[in-house]
Amino acid sequence: MIPVSAASPVDSQPRRPGGAAGGAGSVGIVLVSHSRALAEAALDLVRRLIVSVDVPVELAAGLADGALGTDPGAVVDAVERLTARCEGVLVLADLGSGIMSAEMALEMLDPAVAGRTRLSAAPFVEGLLGAYGAAGIGKDLSAVAAEADGAAEAKRSQVTAV
């Protein structure tokens, strides 16, 4: 298991005054990745593309020793930190075993917390972009999840068949 400190919050404080930093009705996002650097880079990209909003995000990425990997306990910790300040939480995972860690985490959560948490099948970066924007304008968990989930089809429509 990863110690809680290894899965520390990215957003312990609001980034910008006036942002939606975890108020009532807000949706937070957990990024589950095998690589902390990948999760940080994806979040940095999205924050640079969508500068007008501020969404609470937690990382459950990489292992405590810096190695690649995911841990259900780190996902649980991240979800619990967000549900303490958000109405709902969307979880995005990068690869197969990251999805398995997220699914295991959902089973480990208190049922009331699990009921406010959703795992998305969206592509990692595109899903994060859609979810971040939707959460940032105050959409509820279902709408944020739908925006993330629609990212794969939106990308598919941009790629021309050869």
Q: What is the average pLDDT value for the chain, to the nearest integer?
A: 87
Q: What DSSP character marks residue 109?
A: S
- Which of the two residues, 75 and 7, has the higher pLDDT score? 75
Query: Is residue 119's pLDDT more than 60?
Result: yes
Residue 109 exposure: Cα atoms within 13 Å on the Cβ side: 27
Query: Is residue 7's pLDDT more than 60?
Result: no
Where would I find the H helices in the chain? 36-49, 72-83, 96-108, 111-114, 124-136, 141-149, 151-158
Query: Is residue 160's pLDDT more than 80?
Result: no
Structure tokens at 58: 């937690």
Query: Is residue 18's pLDDT more than 50?
Result: no
Structure tokens at 90: 């969307």
Arithmetic mean of pLDDT, 126-152: 97
pLDDT category at 92 given cuts 50, 70, 90 is very high
The amino acid present at 26, given as its one-letter code, is: S
Arithmetic mean of pLDDT, 55-72: 95
Query: Is residue 16's pLDDT more than 50?
Result: no
CB within 8 Å of 12: residues ≥ 6 apart = none
Arithmetic mean of pLDDT, 120-143: 97
Q: Is the CB of residue 46 less than 8 Å from the CB of residue 129?
A: yes
The amino acid present at 111, given as its one-letter code, is: P
The amino acid present at 147, given as its one-letter code, is: E
For residue 1, what pLDDT is reported?
A: 31
For the ranges 2-16, 75-89, 102-116, 130-144, the lowest mean pLDDT is seen at 2-16
For residue 12, what pLDDT is reported?
A: 37
Task: Tell me the three state secondary structure of residue 59.
Answer: strand
Query: Is residue 125's pLDDT more than 50?
Result: yes
Structure tokens at 3: 């110690």
